[in-house]
Chain A
Amino acid sequence: MALQVYTASLLKEGLVAYLCLDSEGISWTTDLNKATAAEDSDIDTLREAAERSDRDNIVVGIYPVLVEKTASGFEPVENREKIRANGPTIILPQSSKASTNLHAA
């Protein structure tokens, strides 16, 4: 059984986001551990919700990502998706007054 989440980029910010689908409806989070995961045929429900967000101009470029459930949460299977989920693997250059508002998205 393959566990998957749906991912995309937030239209306004461009940041990596994951689909949350619960009783309150559809939302998107930048935290993979808050994403809704599904297996096999249940993934269709997530796909339909993601497509709706795409149509509603909330996100861009939806696709499913294979993940594994670990002790610390969801972990993408592929290296590229690990980097998308966790950010660049390097220390980013630091300036004194860089904008930080993006982190709160």
Chain B
Amino acid sequence: MYQYSQADHQLLQERVSQFRDQVQRRLSGDLSEDEFKQQRLRNGLYLQLHAYMLRVAVPYGLLSSNQMRTLAHIARKYDRGYGHFSTRQNIQYNWPKLEDVPQILEDLAEVEMHAIQTSGNCIRNTTSDPLAGVARDEIEDPRPYCELIRQWSTFHPEFNFLPRKFKIAVSGATHDRAAVAVHDIGVRLVKNVKGELGLEIYVGGGLGRTPMIGKLIRKFLPPHDMLTYLEAILRVYNRLGRRDNLYKARIKILVHETGEEKFRELVEEEWEQIKENGLRLSDTDINNIKSHFKDPSYETLSDFDSDFDAQLLADPEFAQWADKNIELHKQDGYRVVYLSLKSRNQPSGDVTADQMDAIADLADKYSLGAIRTTHRQNLVLSDVKLTDLHSLWLDLKALDLATPNYNHLTDLISCPGMDYCSLATARSIPIAQALTKRFDSYDYINDLGDISLNISGCINACGHHHVANIGILGVNKKGIEVYQLTLGGSAREDASIGKIIGPAFTADEIVDAVSQVLDVYLENREDPDETFLTTYRRIGQDPFKEKLYG
């Protein structure tokens, strides 16, 4: 992990001190709410439906066990004993008091964490592949590039008041596990035929009320030019992005209205002016950052273990979990383990303080003290020995973190919806829970195979419903919560936006509707290996419409 320098520590301390003063001035009335709002948003503090909500950054989804313990401490001391991992790999607390927030930020600063730029019209926390550095399909570790972006974008004086919020994702593997296509800027690390490393730069992706897939505006950018090129994109956006209409202010609208080719020209023109400036990365710059992300001292182990094989045979429940929630690791004898935050007992992404403490202990015991968060609202232990898997599974099972459903139907993304969010127009968690209850069968979800089901409680799409194979959007229709179905979305390398299938369903109808959609898939797939998305793309919407609406 990146270790803070003295300057980083000082920066955080000064920021906490500034915010403590701002809170005091707000409480004493020296600052009006209008004046204070911009300050609190710059520190991740929203005022939501029931209380304040504090969003804490988890830079590109990496946490140490000590940081996780601090998150548990905050949940327990200042909140109601739990936190919520979001679709941007951050954690949110739903009940902090305003007067406690400066102390929370101070506690976070002690473990090199903060809430800076987790809200407001600035460059937000960069997201990435939760398997960065350990994936077998990795071309290049994206974490150093994420860290370079973090350092460049934090308090960037030019980009602190953009037309709208700005999100960047970086992926370095063949498979896209960071949803790069639906970010304002998506970066994919690739290699050319000569084996040289470069960056594919996508711009103008996003969800919300106008979902769009990012456009590839640069096919191969040398890594040394990453920051100057990003700076050029941001400058064009900052200059030309619309500030007159909140709903047309994201860069995706600018790219769409300007046209891909013209937008590329504008960026290249800007880049020509600045490409040789001080932001150009030297080998030393890149290598200095890379030194923070060196491989740990892995043991030399066999990739086969007879005890593990025997445990799989002896314990079908363990075998189910191993089949669903474990992935191969680049290092023989190690595995990547997904901790499912999608049990039948808690909302998607929610973790109690007790669970956080226990996860920190498990990370220390089994996974070199590191934890990752995923944009699908799960956690990852990235470096678990094959020989430890059974013991770890027993511990996770006791913590209700071992539901065998990763990338399967009940691994569903859900935003907080109207149970918490002031923007939401419908509840999403109760629907997510009803779906989980209805389809809570290993055999059934195993038969369905790889599938994504996401739900958002409003058009802002924090639940990523547009890019789910089956998406659900909750809306308010004349005072009644209704739920619209979209089919055919994908957040991966074959990214696509789902299409609305027809009129919305009531809360009582939506679970049956999803069941009918699944029936159509099972009736039409060519063989059990054909995924839902492949079947949908092959047969189109009509069979689904026929089943749902007759």
Q: Which residues of A contact B (CB under 8 A)?
A: 9, 11-16, 54, 56-57, 60-61, 78-80, 83-84, 87-90, 92-99, 102
Contact = CB atoms under 8 A, between A and B. Distances in A.
Contacts of A12: 27, 97-99
B445 to A, nearest CB: 22
Nearest to B49: A84
A94 B80 CA distance: 8
Contacts of B49: 16, 80, 83-84
Contacts of B97: 12-14, 102
A97 B26 contact: no
B353 A90 contact: no
Interface in B58-104: 75-82, 95-99
Contact of B47 (A14, A84, A96): A14
Interface stretch (B253-261, B425-433, B511-519): B425-433
Interface stretch (B5-13, B201-209, B220-228, B344-352): B344-352
Given A79-B479, A84-B49, A95 B430 contact: no
A93 B346 contact: yes
Interface of B is mostly: mixed
A83 B418 CA distance: 8
Contacts of B79: 98-99
A93 B29 contact: no
A92 B82 contact: yes
B352 A95 contact: yes
Contacts of A16: 49-51
Given A80-B418, A90-B429, 9 more contacts: A13-B97, A14-B48, A61-B33, A79-B418, A93-B81, A93-B352, A95-B82, A98-B80, A99-B80
Contacts of B355: 95
B353 A57 contact: no
A61 B47 CA distance: 10
Contacts of A92: 80, 82
A82 to B, nearest CB: 10
Given A89-B430, A90-B419, A98 B353 contact: yes
Interface of B: 26-29, 33, 47-52, 75-82, 95-99, 346-347, 350-355, 418-420, 427, 429-430, 433, 476, 479-481
Nearest to A87: B50
A97 B73 CA distance: 10
Contacts of B77: 99
B76 A99 contact: yes
B433 A57 contact: no
A89 B316 CA distance: 36
A88 B352 contact: no
Given A61-B47, A84-B49, A93 B98 contact: no
Given A56-B29, A88-B50, A95 B420 contact: no
Contacts of B75: 95, 98
A95 B433 CA distance: 20
A90 B433 CA distance: 9
Nearest to A84: B49
A95 B350 CA distance: 11
Given A12-B27, A90-B347, A94-B81, A102 B418 contact: no
A30 B412 CA distance: 34
27 contacts: A11-B98, A14-B47, A14-B97, A15-B50, A15-B51, A54-B33, A56-B29, A60-B33, A78-B479, A79-B476, A83-B49, A83-B419, A90-B347, A90-B429, A93-B82, A93-B346, A93-B347, A93-B351, A94-B82, A94-B352, A95-B75, A95-B76, A95-B82, A95-B352, A95-B354, A95-B355, A99-B81
Given A11-B27, A93-B350, A98 B81 contact: yes
Contacts of B76: 95, 97-99
A56 B51 CA distance: 19
Nearest to B50: A16
Residue from A13, A15, A83, A93 having most chain B Cβ neighbours under 10 A: A93
Nearest to A78: B479
Select the residue from B28, B78, B418 with max chain A CB neighbours within 10 A: B418
Contacts of B480: 79
Question: Closest 7 A-B residue pairs measured CB to CB?
Answer: A98-B81, A95-B81, A14-B52, A95-B352, A93-B82, A14-B51, A88-B419
Nearest to A105: B97
A2 B366 CA distance: 62
Nearest to A83: B418
Contacts of B352: 93-95
A2 to B, nearest CB: 15
A37 B48 CA distance: 24
A15 B51 CA distance: 5
B481 A79 contact: yes
A57 to B, nearest CB: 4
A57 B27 contact: yes
A65 B73 CA distance: 37
